[in-house]
Amino acid sequence: MNTKYFKFDTRNTRLATRNSTYPSDERRATSNGPVLHSNSEGGFVLPMVLVAVVILMALIIGTTMTDYHIRLQAVQTKSQTEAMLAAEAGYERAIFWMSQQTDILTAIQNGSDNGSINFGTSTCSYTVDFHGFMGRKSIFRIVSTGVSGRPSFTRIVDVDVVQETSGWAMGSCTVPDGTSSTSTTGVYFGNGEIVDMPLHINEQNDNPDVADIFISTSNGSPTFLEKVEMGESRKTSGGADKYSSVMSLFQSGITFDQPNVRITDATAVQSKVTRFQNSTAAAYQFTPTTTFSDSHYTSFAKLPAVQLEFYVQGGVGMVKILNNCTVIGYQRSMSNTCDFNVVSGSGGSSFQPYNIYAYHYKRSTDSNTAVPITNTYVTQTFGGYTSDPGGQIYVNGNVVIGSSNYTDMIVKGKITVVATGNIWIADSIKVDDNGGAQRDANGMPSADNPNILGLIAQGVIKVIDPGLSSYATSYSPGHLPNNYPGPPSAVSGYTYQPVANLKSGGSGLYDRILPDPTVIEAALTIGGGGWGAENVRDYAGSSGNYYGDRRVVSTPQDDLYVRGSITEVIRGIVGHLNNDGYIKHYYLDTRLMSGILPGDIWLSGKYIPAPAGWHDHSVNN
């Protein structure tokens, strides 16, 4: 009897017999069904091929999708980058547009404050708007939108910007010695001078093209501790480097091709002055007049002015105002003077000698008015925004700041004085420092000091020579012309007003000197010439050719400190080394960058982001 064995074949899912009566390589047809073929290894090929095809297709599809996503990401990244660059290009174009405006606030009022750029694969559009005040300083908002790609990507740059605060900015680093722009002399930095103020000098467009800053290294190199900006390029059109020999002097670097300060633009200055006048309280707008008449003065200039004195009384900042003063002006011959101002309408290219301060009178019937500085406080309003309050005094004429009663004038409060004529400084002017608690060890007002003074003149701002009144009484040859009248004891209806300090041992009211050092703590803006000291000329020793005496001691020069800022059309002379005048010490009051100063007096052509003012973001389209 044959024995049969059965098992379950997992490869073919059928029963197979292991009966020795059947050949092992095939199964015959029986009455139970068809012939069954053997299950050999060749039965795996088709399934494996199918599996391989599926895997290969998956790999191809995956690779294709990966490549697609990479390409898509690349396109998206390119579009995002183009959108970002387009938005930033719009911002730069807006900044450039702002730098070209005579007066940015007027331009915004006129509505010419938007634009667009098409780069082909991307575009941008930008707007410039007024965006409020930082204290008392205007803030502007630039919104630039860059768009690129399909689907498009949008990048928005939203920046608050402010006008850069000048340290020492000048239209030209030269002084006039004649009436035309070609009659100027470069003013050299040298002799170990330290300039601790950011410096800016406008492009001169000179021919031949030379460096617009004049530096002497013959007696010791000057040192510039703060940044220096030049309106011109570093190299000439021919590629010559004008600055290679002095680059090491600029410790904080020097940058070129910077926007010009608009101090040389009389229209820009007038726009600021007009806006200031319109926002000043009527009680503190003055137009001084003079009816001064005396036979001694028929051929001499008689200039109307307002005299101001600053002091503190009972802890309160005060200003004493005397309207309708008469300044007796004195003018030397052109070959014998350094006292020039800009000819009106010349754009800073023509100059003329002007009448410097000799002394002044008041009408005997007039009396001064003393008011708290806070009485002059007003706010400026623009575009629906209002500034912090601050003091403003506007004078359609000249201003004399000085007193015979205070060793140093003290300003307690925030105030700006604007004059359409000259501002003559006849004493030291310091801000109140709370008994020294709000002054740094280096003498600068500390960051928390709330007191500030601004001065802007469409003429000049100069430190006077108080010695002229003394010389005038003696009619000394070589000092003043013999027919130049000294201040007599009485002029009918008028009283002589001494300023500065009585010289120790001096006789009468007329021997006047300024303190050493003379300290001016103020932001100075000079639209009609330069900042400096009047009646400065070489001292010729025994020849008697001596022009002025403002000195406390017998040394040739005293010290003049400016703690604030200076913006001037052209350099004014402060002193002649080892002869007459002053040795200068200039320091930037960094508080000016915070918007502490009342009034809109800044004329820089450069605009920079306000603190924390830069914002940018993408928009999903």
pLDDT tens, residue by residue, 492-517: 888 889 898 887 776 667 778 888 88
Measured from the Cβ of residue 171, the count of other Cβ atoms closer than 10 Å reads 30
Q: Which amino acid is at 305?
A: A
Would you state the pLDDT for residue 553? 46
Q: Which amino acid is at 165?
A: T
- The whole-angstrom separation of Cα 438 and Cα 446 is 5
pTM as predicted? 0.84
Q: How confident is the model at residue 69 (pLDDT cuts 50, 70, 90)?
A: low
Please state the separation of Cα 80 from the chain's center in Å: 34
Q: CB-based burial of residue 35 (10 Å sphere; 0-12 exposed, 13-18 middle, 19+ buried)? A: exposed
Q: Per-residue pLDDT tens for 185-223?
A: 888 887 777 788 999 999 999 888 999 999 887 766 788
Cα separations in angstroms, 602 against 135, 273, 512: 14, 11, 35
| 518 pLDDT more than 70 | yes
Please state the separation of Cα 427 from the chain's center in Å: 27
Q: Per-residue pLDDT tens for 443-476?
A: 999 999 999 999 999 999 999 988 787 766 654 4
- The whole-angstrom separation of Cα 480 and Cα 420 is 28
| 39 pLDDT more than 60 | no
- 110 phi, psi to nearest 5 deg: -80, -10
Cα separations in angstroms, 347 against 105, 298, 337, 344, 569: 21, 32, 22, 7, 9
Q: Which amino acid is at 434?
A: N
Q: CB-based burial of residue 503 (10 Å sphere; 0-12 exposed, 13-18 middle, 19+ buried)? A: middle
Q: What residues are paired with 169 via a beta bridge?
A: 200, 567
Mean pLDDT of 362-381: 95
Would you state the pLDDT for residue 14? 41
| 281 pLDDT more than 80 | yes
Structure tokens belonging to residue 310: 């600053």
Give the mean pLDDT of the chain.
83
| 134 pLDDT more than 50 | yes
Is the model more confident about 581 or about 532? 532
Structure tokens belonging to residue 402: 């000085």
The SS3 of residue 393 is strand
Would you state the pLDDT for residue 526? 96
* Selection from 365, 298, 343 nearest residue 459 by Cα: 343
* Strand runs labelled E in 180-242: 184-186, 188-189, 194-195, 199-201, 214-215, 223-224, 228-230
Least confident of 57-71, 233-247, 272-286, 571-585: 57-71
Q: CB-based burial of residue 47 (10 Å sphere; 0-12 exposed, 13-18 middle, 19+ buried)? A: exposed
- The whole-angstrom separation of Cα 173 and Cα 168 is 11
Would you state the pLDDT for residue 336? 73
The answer to whether 181 touches 350, Cβ cutoff 8 Å, is yes
Would you state the pLDDT for residue 110? 87
Least confident of 100-114, 142-156, 226-240, 332-346: 332-346
The answer to whether 162 touches 93, Cβ cutoff 8 Å, is no
Would you state the pLDDT for residue 187? 85
Structure tokens belonging to residue 293: 């008449």
Q: How confident is the model at residue 8 (pLDDT cuts 50, 70, 90)?
A: very low
Pairing label, strands 428-431, 494-497: unpaired
The CA radius of gyration of the chain, in Å to the nearest whole number, is: 40
Would you state the pLDDT for residue 406? 67
- Length of the chain, in residues: 621
Please, which residues have CB within 8 angstroms of residue 519's CB and are 6 or more apart in sequence? Answer: 408, 428, 429, 430, 561, 563
Pairing label, strands 558-568, 580-588: parallel
Please, which residues have CB within 8 angstroms of residue 68's CB and are 6 or more apart in sequence? Answer: none
Please, which residues have CB within 8 angstroms of residue 543's CB and are 6 or more apart in sequence? Answer: 478
Would you state the pLDDT for residue 189? 84
Instruction: Give the H or E element holding residue 520.
Output: strand 518-520
Mean pLDDT of 595-602: 90
- The whole-angstrom separation of Cα 456 and Cα 410 is 18
Q: How confident is the model at residue 557 (pLDDT cuts 50, 70, 90)?
A: confident
